[in-house]
């Protein structure tokens, strides 16, 4: 057993991915639509850009591993009419938005955004531009499922301004694909990737998942070797979270077919070795990019940030999310929409918005969010600069978290110097564990109704 495998086994525990702090389980229904409208009105700084997110929850078929908020349906009318509600929601939000603010980033996620027919891709694109001012150089990305995808879908995306594409690959092994109900031959993915390159998408990401049924080191090595040869600009390699108590359809996956813990650890070793050999930089938390990628450059310049869309180079943007389950963010608050599509549509029809829950951040929340984000993005923390920014004495303010961090320092994940906290190369693999030391919420359960319910997170390895 390698030293890395020993450490992965030692530190594998449930933990957040920190796309926000505080994390989503601590949002509450006491944050209402009136609170969100007031926050929108109060946060209109024309110097801050906008990042728009659109959740398209529909899919043709159900992928058994899926942990997203989605609806598998063959009734396309549901998606066609859903766009009407997105339009209403945009209108309500735009009415409270300073028209001088420009959209610097836009992303469609799901579900499967390319479930939309090309004419509706164009329709939604036109709707968005009717409500918001899109910057000419805006970063516009869309998630795509190669199945049922035509070249016309990609042409429509390019016509409305998309310049980035994220292709859901997951695994190229036919046995694995069959076990998770996502059969997509290697040749099909190659064709879609080729179309995207021909049509001029500036950046292409591929999503992979490790820990799926029947995966082995040998089978996933083949997947990595093929994808390395294709050369996508970025790769996101997620660990499968088997949470059938939260996602009932995951019960369709036979637990006996899942790779054992030793295999999962070996797969992690394989990923970092093979992608490192191919020249990809480990940005952190399952994300890899070519050295010239703007995400890598942003990390080097210490301008990288992290939000509900993962790592981003658009730190100074508020997020306005539209659609069922979408999460919006300003510097001082988070808001999540109603998750159920029918309930979302009913609320939007009634008031123009679909606020389900949210959270207003305390000063302490903001201090810890800044620290956690800086560590996960910069891979270090300049302590004097941090103390000056927040008016705190680092050692005193975080005395307890620093004690929690000592074992991780002993195992070589971080170096604690008088003026810096530094994440080592080894520590990049344990960013969630490092961040958890500074999470004040992990020792308390969120209250749902009158009951305290302990959140269930995926494992860190």
The reply to whether the predicted model has a pTM over 0.85 is yes
CA dihedral of residues 188, 191, 197, 201 (deg, nearest 10):
-40
Q: Are residues 385 and 312 in the same domain?
A: no
User: Residue 260: exposed, middle, or buried by beta-carbon count in 10 A (0-12, 13-18, 19+)?
Assistant: exposed
383, 420 contact by CB (below 8 A): yes
Q: What pLDDT shows up at residue 456?
A: 61
Strand partners, 322: 54
Q: What pLDDT shows up at residue 244?
A: 81
Degrees to nearest 5, angle at CA 326 with 127 and 192? 70
Q: What pLDDT shows up at residue 450?
A: 46
Q: Are residues 129 and 167 in the same domain?
A: yes
Distance of CA 35 to the CA centre of its chain: 25
Q: Are residues 20 and 94 in the same domain?
A: yes
The residues, ordered by sequence, that sit 6+ positions from 23 with a Cβ below 8 Å of its Cβ are: 16, 439, 441, 455
Q: Are residues 337 and 374 in the same domain?
A: no
Q: What pLDDT shows up at residue 60?
A: 93
Rounded to 5 degrees, φ, ψ at 145 are -100, 120
What's the pLDDT tens digit per position in 269-285? 899 999 999 999 999 88
Q: Are residues 419 and 435 in the same domain?
A: yes
Residues in the chain: 461
Those residues of the chain that have pLDDT short of 50 are: 450
Residue at 9 is within a domain: no
Q: Specify the CATH number for the domain of residue 412.
A: 1.10.10.920
Q: Specify the CATH number for the domain of residue 205.
A: 3.80.30.10
**What's the total number of domains in the chain?**
2
Q: Are residues 296 and 385 in the same domain?
A: no
Residue at 451 is within a domain: no
- Quote the domain boundaries for residue 399: 363-439
Residue at 1 is within a domain: no
């Amino acid at each position: 057993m390698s030293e890395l495998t020993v450490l992965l086994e030692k530190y594998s525990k449930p933990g957040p991915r920190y796309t926000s702090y505080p994390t989503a389980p601590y949002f509450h229904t006491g944050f209402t639509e009136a609170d969100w409208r007031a926050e929108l009105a109060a946060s209109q700084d024309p110097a801050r850009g906008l990042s728009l997110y659109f959740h398209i929850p529909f899919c043709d078929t159900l992928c058994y591993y899926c942990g997203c908020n989605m609806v598998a349906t063959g009734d396309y009318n549901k998606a066609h009419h859903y766009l009407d509600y997105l339009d209403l929601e945009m209108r309500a939000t735009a009415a409270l938005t300073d028209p001088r603010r420009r959209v610097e980033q836009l992303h469609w996620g799901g579900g499967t955004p390319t479930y939309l027919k090309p004419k509706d891709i164009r329709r939604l694109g036109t709707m968005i531009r009717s409500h918001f001012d899109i910057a000419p150089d805006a970063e516009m990305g869309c998630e795509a499922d190669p199945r049922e995808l035509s070249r016309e879908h990609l042409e429509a995306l390019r016509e409305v301004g998309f310049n980035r594409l994220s292709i859901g690959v997951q695994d190229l092994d036919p046995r694995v694909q069959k076990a998770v109900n996502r059969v997509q031959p290697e040749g099909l993915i190659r064709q879609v990737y080729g179309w995207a390159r021909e049509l001029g998408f500036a950046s292409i990401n591929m999503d992979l998942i490790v820990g799926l049924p029947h995966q082995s080191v040998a089978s996933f090595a083949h997947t990595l070797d093929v994808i390395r040869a294709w050369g996508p600009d970025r790769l996101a390699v997620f660990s499968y979270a088997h949470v059938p108590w939260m996602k009932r359809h995951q019960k369709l996956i036979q637990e006996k077919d899942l790779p054992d813990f030793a295999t999962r650890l070996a797969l992690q070793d394989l990923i970092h070795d093979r992608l490192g050999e191919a020249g990809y930089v480990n940005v952190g938390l399952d994300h890899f990019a070519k050295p010239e990628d703007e995400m890598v450059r942003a990390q080097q310049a210490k301008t990288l940030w992290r939000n509900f869309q993962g790592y981003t180079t658009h730190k100074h943007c508020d997020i306005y999310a539209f659609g069922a389950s979408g999460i919006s963010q300003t510097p001082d608050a988070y808001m999540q929409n109603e998750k159920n599509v029918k309930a979302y549509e009913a609320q939007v029809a009634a008031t123009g918005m679909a606020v389900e829950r949210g959270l207003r951040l305390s000063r302490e929340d903001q201090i810890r969010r800044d620290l956690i984000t800086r560590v996960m993005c910069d891979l270090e923390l300049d302590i004097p600069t941090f103390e000056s920014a927040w008016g705190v004495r680092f050692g005193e303010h975080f005395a307890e978290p620093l004690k929690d961090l000592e074992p991780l320092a002993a195992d070589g994940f971080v170096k604690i110097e008088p003026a810096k906290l530094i994440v080592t190369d080894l520590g990049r693999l344990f960013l969630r564990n490092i961040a958890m030391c500074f999470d004040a919420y992990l020792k308390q359960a969120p209250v749902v109704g009158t009951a305290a319910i302990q959140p269930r997170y995926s494992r860190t390895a």
